[in-house]
Structure 1
Amino acid sequence: MDKPTPEGFARRIVDLGLADRREVEHSLGELGGGEMTLDSVIEQMQRRGHVTTLQTEKIVRGDRAGYFYGDYKVLYLIGAGTFARVYRASKDGEVFAIKVLRKRFRDEPKEMEQFLREGRMGLRLRHPNIVSIYDVIADTRNPFLVMEFVEGQTLRELVRIRKQLPVDLSLKLAHEIASGLSHAASLGISHRDLKLSNVLISSDGRAKLVDFGLAALTDRKNPDQIADCPNARAIDYAALERGTGVRKDDPRSDVFFTGNMLYHMIAGVPALTETRDRLARLNVSRFQEIKSITEFAPDCPGIVTQLINKIMEYNPQKRIQSAAAMQAEIKRVMDILEKGPVATNSEGQPEVGGQYEDDDVPTDEGIGYVVMLVESKAALQNAIRERLKSRGYRVLIIQDPNRALARFDPMEDPPADCVIFSAAELGSLALEAYNKFASDEHTCEIPSILLADRRQAKIISEARRGPRRQLLALPLKVRELRMGLVKVLAGTERRPLGTY
């Protein structure tokens, strides 16, 4: 198609609704009365912000569509993959990212459904470390997702530019990735396509997960389903899960591939060799013969090497068991590095009396349980919450004992499976709430624990006893709290993943 005339180019801007007629005419008037060229008009319109380079290219080509998706005006192309394109777009002065399914997939029911499921699933995910999806437009001719626009770059671009990232920055980003994954896991959602290009780094340095497209294909209703390879994006996950004999959508797969990203950030190269060869990617030796990170980063602290080894353990039973446990373990390592070196034994493990105990090793024993902690002291709140989260529990914090009791409405399902009342600061208020919780008809069968200082003799003597009640003395060791929870929760059915 012939290029438009200078006047025709300006007219198209108005006809397409990209800019107001008066603004365009005013900008043309600024060029003076001389002969206008197409290049001079384009330069003026772009300088005045009436069109972007993408819009200019489309007008010159004679494109009739693609300038708007719904009410969202397309500004720039910011990402393109096999499956979809992502544009920067604006509406009412705000900036968004618009993800558009490629035309060749719009007549394919499977691809269309996967795309829309990704959007519907994303509507449920609201977390600082996950890119938000605000709307799903299911138009069969022009399906698109309205997403949060993140000013920044992908983690792949950051690593390509900087080659190797500092250990502290790598751990920070991995911790944020694990935080996003932990939130998604609490809703029954795994990612299943974790790689550097699916992590955005915002301009303020925050990691944000994007593209949960393959998560939409997971099937938790069939625990025996064998991992499959519906497309090239799923091969790595399927190869790991088949090789280790676990079901499709095992939550520990996301843990492993987070480790691959952490390894890549520190080493400058991925732990798993990158190849397009399908057979090579399905070969389990690729997961078993990973070189030590010290070959590429000899100054990597031993505790970080151990962390990566636990995250990327080939045997799923020995691997860190959940995103929440991984998040807590990364945080623990970050804290240790910040405090300085610790004494270790001949196996590289911290000695007894060091900065953490064997009992601090994360597990997933609390998966499926919600614990409410009634405590007014922030330091104790944080300590207990982090210890329990690292074991898979979801922890609710309430400062006022009476508000905690009010949360248990007889007409509604209980918000927690166990309540921990701490009398260290709350004193008799905690005791009264604990005893009332144990006697009220609608809560008497729900487990509870009272934490009391050994010097609070009156509180200890007046606390109700029972098979689903525990009294634990402060200061508290992790093992004592764990054993207390295990005892009182015995017989309590775990909540299905994604319902708490």
Structure 2
Amino acid sequence: MSEMTAERFAQRVFDFDLLDAHQLDAVWGELGSREVSLEHLTALMLRRELLTNFQVDRILEGKHDGYYYGKYKALYLVGTGTFARVYRAVHRGTNRLYAVKVLRSRYAEDLTITDQFMREARMVMPLVHPNIVPVHEVLEERHRPFMVMDFVEGQNLREFIKRRKRLDLDVSLSLLRDVLSGLHYAAGKGVTHRDLKLSNVLITSRGRAKLVDFGLAAISMDPSDDEAGASNPRSIDYAGLERITGVRKNDPRSDIYFAGCMLYHMLSGQSPLVETRDRVTRLSVTRYRDIKPLGAHLSELPNYLIAFCNKSMELNPERRFQSPGEMLEETKRVLARVEAKDDGTRPTVPAAESASDGAEPVGELPIEMEGGNRTVLIVEPNVTMQDTLRSALKKCGYRVLLFANPDRALERLAEHDDAAPLADCLIVSANELGDQAVALFNRLGSDEKTKGMPAVMLVNRRSKAQIAQASTSDVRVLLPMGIKIKQLRATLLQLLNQPGRQPQS
């Protein structure tokens, strides 16, 4: 290859239609001679903003295409994904900025992916909403399909969080409200996102969120082709979730789950799901089941906000919000409480006690022998409450087994096949778990293996529906939130020491 000179470089600029003859003459005139170095020529063109670094580098690399896509001149590469690259571009007629998303060359000959790409773009075109980046055109040039979208000045949500570590409550909820507004509108048009993640939410310079890349909204996979969805790197998270929850593909509640993941990440600064490229790990049930409770990251979060996030990320889709619209309305209510400085002060469960109160014996035995080394299984997602219960019961001679997730507790009980029971008693708190606590309490009361296990559900006195739904018995009781440790201990002793009670089999 011949050495690139200033003259050759200028000729290529002209050949690629980046500058016209008049503009080049002006450049040579300012330089005073054509006998200049390549560095002087490119420096002037960059300084005068006649070319961009992207264009200069591309010419020096010997590339002969990729400077224009239709009427749009590529200025910078701003994003790279699995299937496409996104360029900041300018319309040669209007000088208006756009984002041009171009299918990568390696897929240009793959008719399936090409068709998928084109249908994705065409499905989004009718969506006109403030929280959705609009698609204006879908074109193809030299077998390279591309779509033209608004260019959003700002950054994506992943970058936004990375710079700030984690977001304030009101900012997080405001951005979530924008995301859900877009999802709600799209759902009304029969479109789900199917690729909801931080990098597909753009944050404008004014701090508003806009959805981009309805990644799989237009893909019509064979519903029976599980492997197709699971192997597609853009759908694998959705495939993993839907496989373990047993719902049909394109279930709109899958978007709800990942919107909840988004809120969790904004509040905590960490993803609730293990972030990995390994396909097997991403499809694993433990990735979705063993999620660190949100309160473990931030113990000061209001309980109503934790409960809201927990509901959106329920593994059981029937317990999630059932539509973006439903979650949107609840987001607005939660945001209003946050803006009103409602700290959601949690009733202490159990209530805090002085050493002279909580440490007194409640039976005939010394306090440290009261539990008799029996195991209490506690289901409570709030870390502060976990610590309170663990500390108090261990001092009284109980062994404590803690779970934040009711489903995980059920699984452990089902997996346990030793002659000795996994636990001698259950305590489940409805403070944050709500209906989940009731479902767990009732299920264990109806299951042949656990129906004889003493159980306590801590419930708010005002939660009339939960109280009415709970199935109680002589060994299965409800206690109010705020109960004293001493009262809880007395109840445990009464339940565990009932005459004629058979040990768990």
TM-score above 0.5, yes or no:
yes
**Percent of aligned positions with the same letter in both sequences?**
48
Deviations 1:246-302 (A, max 9, x none): 111110000000000110011010111111222221122222221111221222222
Instruction: After superposing the two structures, state which structure 1 stretch, 287-296 or 306-315, moved more.
Output: 287-296
Rounded to whole Å, the distance in 1 between the matches of 2:13 and 2:279 is 47
Tell me, what secondary structure is at the counterpart of 1:325? helix
2:113 to 111, 114, 118: 111
Q: Which residue of 2 aligns with 1:275?
A: 276
Tell me, what secondary structure is at the counterpart of 2:270? coil
Does structure 2 retain, via aligned residues, the 8 Å contact 1:116–1:138? no
Rounded to whole Å, the distance in 2 between the matches of 1:204 and 1:277 is 36
1:67 CA displacement: 0.8
2:213 paired with 1:215: no
Tell me, what secondary structure is at the counterpart of 1:115? helix
Deviations 1:356-415 (A, max 9, x none): xxxxxxxxxxxxxxxxxxxxxxxxxxxxxxxxxxxxxxxxxxxxxxxxxxxxxxxxxxxx
User: Superposition pairs for residues 276-315 of structure 1, below 5 Å?
Assistant: 276-315=277-316
Deviations 1:411-452 (A, max 9, x none): xxxxxxxxxxxxxxxxxxxxxxxxxxxxxxxxxxxxxxxxxx
2:179 paired with 1:177: yes
Does structure 2 retain, via aligned residues, the 8 Å contact 1:117–1:213? no
User: Superposition pairs for residues 56-75 of structure 1, below 5 Å?
Assistant: 56-75=56-75
Rounded to whole Å, the distance in 1 between the matches of 2:39 and 2:215 is 41
Unaligned runs of 5+ in 1: 349-500
AA of the residue aligned to 2:181: S
Rounded to whole Å, the distance in 1 between the matches of 2:158 and 2:190 is 27
Rounded to whole Å, the distance in 2 between the matches of 1:312 and 1:272 is 11
Does structure 2 retain, via aligned residues, the 8 Å contact 1:52–1:75? yes
Rounded to whole Å, the distance in 1 between the matches of 2:72 and 2:317 is 45
Does structure 2 retain, via aligned residues, the 8 Å contact 1:3–1:61? no
Q: Which residue of 2 aligns with 1:45?
A: 45
User: Superposition pairs for residues 56-455 of structure 1, below 5 Å?
Assistant: 56-91=56-91, 92-139=94-141, 141-218=143-220, 228-341=229-342
Q: Which residue of 1 aligns with 2:36?
A: 36
1:225 CA displacement: 8.2
1:303 CA displacement: 1.5
Rounded to whole Å, the distance in 2 between the matches of 1:52 and 1:130 is 29
Rounded to whole Å, the distance in 2 between the matches of 1:26 and 1:15 is 17
Rounded to whole Å, the distance in 1 between the matches of 2:275 and 2:344 is 37
1:121 CA displacement: 0.8
Q: 1:266 and 1:2, CA in 2 relative to 1: closer, same or farther beyond 3 A?
A: farther
Q: Which residue of 1 aligns with 2:484?
A: none
Deviations 1:93-145 (A, max 9, x none): 10111110011111111111110011101111111111110000144612110
1:58 CA displacement: 1.5
Q: 1:37 and 1:343, CA in 2 relative to 1: closer, same or farther beyond 3 A?
A: closer
Q: 1:21 and 1:138, CA in 2 relative to 1: closer, same or farther beyond 3 A?
A: closer
Deviations 1:233-258 (A, max 9, x none): 21111111111111111100000000
1:11 CA displacement: 2.3
Does structure 2 retain, via aligned residues, the 8 Å contact 1:159–1:165? yes
Tell me, what secondary structure is at the counterpart of 2:230? coil
TM-score between both structures, scaled by the size of structure 1: 0.66
Rounded to whole Å, the distance in 2 between the matches of 1:111 and 1:298 is 46
Rounded to whole Å, the distance in 2 between the matches of 1:195 and 1:2 is 46
Q: 1:2 and 1:201, CA in 2 relative to 1: closer, same or farther beyond 3 A?
A: farther
Unaligned runs of 5+ in 2: 350-505
Deviations 1:12-64 (A, max 9, x none): 22222112211221122112348411000000011112211111111112221
Does structure 2 retain, via aligned residues, the 8 Å contact 1:192–1:254? yes
Tell me, what secondary structure is at the counterpart of 1:98? strand
Deviations 1:189-220 (A, max 9, x none): 1111111111111111111111112111156x
Rounded to whole Å, the distance in 1 between the matches of 2:258 and 2:226 is 19
Q: 1:309 and 1:16, CA in 2 relative to 1: closer, same or farther beyond 3 A?
A: same
Rounded to whole Å, the distance in 2 between the matches of 1:291 and 1:24 is 61
Deviations 1:159-217 (A, max 9, x none): 11111111110111011001111111111111111111111111111111111121111
Does structure 2 retain, via aligned residues, the 8 Å contact 1:132–1:148? yes
Rounded to whole Å, the distance in 1 between the matches of 2:3 and 2:74 is 22
TM-score between both structures, scaled by the size of structure 2: 0.65
Does structure 2 retain, via aligned residues, the 8 Å contact 1:97–1:148? yes
Q: State the structure with more CA Rg.
A: 2
Does structure 1 retain, via aligned residues, the 8 Å contact 2:302–2:343? no
AA of the residue aligned to 1:171: L
Tell me, what secondary structure is at the counterpart of 1:143? strand
CA RMSD, 1 decimal: 2.1
Rounded to whole Å, the distance in 2 between the matches of 1:158 and 1:194 is 16
Does structure 1 retain, via aligned residues, the 8 Å contact 2:85–2:101? yes
